[in-house]
Structure 1
Amino acid sequence: MFSKWIFVVLLSLSCLSSPAFSGGVSAYIVNGTETSVTTYPDFVSLFYDRTEYDRIYGTHSFCGGTMLNSQYVLTAAHCIFSGGSINEEYMLFMTVGQIDNETDWIYKITPVRPAEFYYDNSFSDSESDLWQNDIAIIKLESTLNTGGTVNRLGSESYHSNSNSFIAIGHGNTAVNTTTYKLLQTSMSYVDQSTCASVYGGLHNSQICFSGGSAATMNNGVCSGDSGGPIYWDNGGTLYQVGITSFGPTTCGAGSITGVFTELTDYNTWITNVLNGSVSPNYIATDAKRQAYYETNILSSPTDSSSVPSGGGGGSMGGGLLLLFSGVLGYRLKRRLVMPRI
């Protein structure tokens, strides 16, 4: 049970094919300033893309990620889950690319499709469990030419509110307020006991940050920032210390404006995935894409190409909202899915 009745938002992708999901999401950088992948060269975006099948694509990314190396992407597990199970449609029709302004992505970059998906077998896609072990790795079909890769740490020496931390993403700037640009914002470390007093049930593998002490609109993460990084700026060298997971329903509200999966707790698992000693949880192939398209999309009376813009944040039961900005969730609020012409 929560020690207080707190509302939180999971910064993830909306459930494109889940009938249980009834709304959109609200999760973007709050009080941010515009930045660039030149400054954060390991940052990438995950897009929904069916252009080679029927010219349908997402005009916004549904999650962020970072490059562990030229072929492996680090993100949040909830970005590939829906209602407790993997979201096969997102996994099959995902592309990964690097862009500053998302209005340019379909025309100005060459994205790469995923080939394999890895996630912690103990991941809990559950509000009541605060999305424990919210981490995933995507192996791409080919290398993605980015300007950099993640710097990881072997210890948690950065646990100090005197250190500087930066969160980035393409998420909303406030609830229901969209941006297409990559933004950054500064945040401060919050110790585990203080964070647990706000979010009862917090796990040791999660790390919390604050964006200020005002009643609302403190610096923080918001819908669409899921899977993206928070960095420790150690004298100009950036180390990724967390993956954006969830935050308050009202973005930027309260004393804790972002909860992240802490990377140091998964160093061994990450290394094992990269060296090939872990079997993928799911393999994506062209044959699977074609079969899924023919069986689940062509035969669907509510294909996403016919769904107009719409609204909202989807309630997930006892007080948490999914903060991921997936195609279905976005298109209910704004026109995210559209044909390429």
Structure 2
Amino acid sequence: MKQILVWLAASLLCQNAVFVPTSASKAVNHTSNGNNKLISHARATRPVSKTDSTNKNAPKNKTPDRKASISAFIINGRTTRRGEFPHQVAIYMDEEHFCGGSLISNTHVLTAAHCVATYQSFELIFGASNRDGSNSGVVKMKAKNKIQHPSYSTFSLVNDIALLVLPKPIKFTSAIKKISLASPTQAKNLLQRGALLTVAGWGKTSDAEETIGDELVSTTLRVLSNQDCNRIYGYENYMPTAHSSICVIGNKKSATCQGDSGGPVIMKENNVLYQVGIVSYGSANGCEAGDPEVLTKVASYRNWISSMTGVKI
């Protein structure tokens, strides 16, 4: 099978609960009737503060304070080149929290619904390899509006997709480019079990580090079947990974962690990049536990994106 290059802006939260990204940020534990065994180890990939560290005194099954959440990192990653990910967008919510996104037109950024649901102000940074936007040629602007999927569920995290509208068209450069969206046929044919993926995020290098990183780094992941994720995150009749999801896992001891929720998952076909997914949620067992992550499958939402943006895709 040909290698598929996928960039996934990473994000995982490390608590033994199902995290629901509501404004209250409450954790929900799903336990069996017999032995109080935690059935679902899933948790939503919450936005993080620009300089947060983990609250080490937080109870195990409680959501950490918003200002004490673990930052993004990629384990066993490499530093990326400037312009390698020209579609990647850094998003600051309410001037404090951080997510990732992708530029899909000269007026729209694609991200996760849980990144925007409880925030009103969004500063966008384009063309940056440094998270703070200190590179030359970087463009910064405030989003004019957010468009959250109307059927987004804060409990199941289905339809975890949203758009940010720019106040004016952005000018494309060698470091700022839009990304095309994969068609359902492309997603079906290329996202087969075992396909190799590449993930990028602003990052740390281990669970022990406490602050969010400045440099964009990347590493390798691979695709699993959705049944693999359902065995871990499903309970009773609830199967979280359906036709609108993609199940992935770290490859060769690589991993991702929280901080770039909403970031793009990209594939390369015939030397053209296509976005196939958006970071949604993953294991609560820890960022280095080696558990799968679940992505929103972009191909399932092409019609919705087109109707909201007026862009032909």
Judge same fold: TM > 0.5, yes or no.
yes
State percent identity of aligned pairs.
Answer: 26
Judged with a 3 Å threshold, the aligned counterparts in structure 2 of structure 1 residues 268 and 34 are, in CA distance, closer, same or farther, namely same
Aligned position for 2:45:
11
Name the SS of the counterpart of 2:182 in structure 1.
coil
Matched, 1:23 2:68: yes
Matched, 1:225 2:260: yes
Aligned residue pairs total 252
Aligned position for 1:194:
228
Aligned position for 1:316:
none
Alignment partner of 2:301 out of 263, 266, 271:
266
Per-residue deviation, 1:96:
3.5
Alignment partner of 1:94 out of 123, 131, 152:
123
Per-residue deviation, 1:165:
1.6
- Name structure 2 gaps, 5 residues minimum: 1-29, 33-37, 51-62
Matched, 1:111 2:140: yes
Name the SS of the counterpart of 1:101 in structure 2.
coil
In structure 1, what is the Cα distance between the partners aligned to 2:303 and 2:287? Answer: 33
Aligned position for 1:308:
none
- Name structure 1 gaps, 5 residues minimum: 50-56, 278-341
In structure 2, what is the Cα distance between the partners aligned to 1:224 and 1:9? Answer: 13
| Partner AA of 1:66 in structure 2 | S
Aligned position for 2:77:
32
In structure 1, what is the Cα distance between the partners aligned to 2:177 and 2:42? Answer: 32
* 1:277-326 Cα shifts (integer Å, max 9, x gaps): 9xxxxxxxxxxxxxxxxxxxxxxxxxxxxxxxxxxxxxxxxxxxxxxxxx
* 1:57-107 Cα shifts (integer Å, max 9, x gaps): 55xx701111111110000111112xxxx323xxx2533433101244499
Contact 1:165–1:188 under 8 Å retained in 2: yes
**Pairs within 5 Å for 1:25-104:** 25-48=70-93, 62-81=98-117, 86-88=118-120, 92-104=121-133
Contact 1:43–1:228 under 8 Å retained in 2: yes
Single out whichever of 139-148 and 223-232 deviates more from structure 2. 139-148
Single out whichever of 194-203 and 97-106 deviates more from structure 2. 97-106
Judged with a 3 Å threshold, the aligned counterparts in structure 2 of structure 1 residues 253 and 20 are, in CA distance, closer, same or farther, namely closer
Alignment partner of 1:123 out of 138, 146, 152:
152
Aligned position for 1:211:
250
> Whose relative contact order is higher, 1 or 2, with alpha carbons under 8 Å and at least 6 apart?
1
Contact 1:2–1:199 under 8 Å retained in 2: no
Per-residue deviation, 1:20:
7.0
In structure 1, what is the Cα distance between the partners aligned to 2:183 and 2:46? Answer: 27
Per-residue deviation, 1:159:
2.6
Single out whichever of 35-44 and 164-173 deviates more from structure 2. 164-173
In structure 2, what is the Cα distance between the partners aligned to 1:232 and 1:2? Answer: 37
| Partner AA of 1:175 in structure 2 | D
Contact 1:37–1:43 under 8 Å retained in 2: no
Single out whichever of 179-188 and 137-146 deviates more from structure 2. 137-146
Aligned position for 2:57:
none
Contact 2:191–2:223 under 8 Å retained in 1: yes
| Partner AA of 1:63 in structure 2 | C
The TM-score, its normalising length taken from structure 2, stands at: 0.71
In structure 2, what is the Cα distance between the partners aligned to 1:123 and 1:45? Answer: 22
**Pairs within 5 Å for 1:303-318:** none
Higher helix share: 1
In structure 1, what is the Cα distance between the partners aligned to 2:48 and 2:213? Answer: 17
| Partner AA of 1:39 in structure 2 | E
Matched, 1:152 2:181: yes
Judged with a 3 Å threshold, the aligned counterparts in structure 2 of structure 1 residues 164 and 237 are, in CA distance, closer, same or farther, namely farther
Alignment partner of 1:165 out of 197, 211, 230:
197
In structure 1, what is the Cα distance between the partners aligned to 2:232 and 2:82? Answer: 33
* 1:100-151 Cα shifts (integer Å, max 9, x gaps): 012444997330111111111111123xx2x111111001101233432112
Contact 1:112–1:144 under 8 Å retained in 2: no
**Pairs within 5 Å for 1:320-339:** none
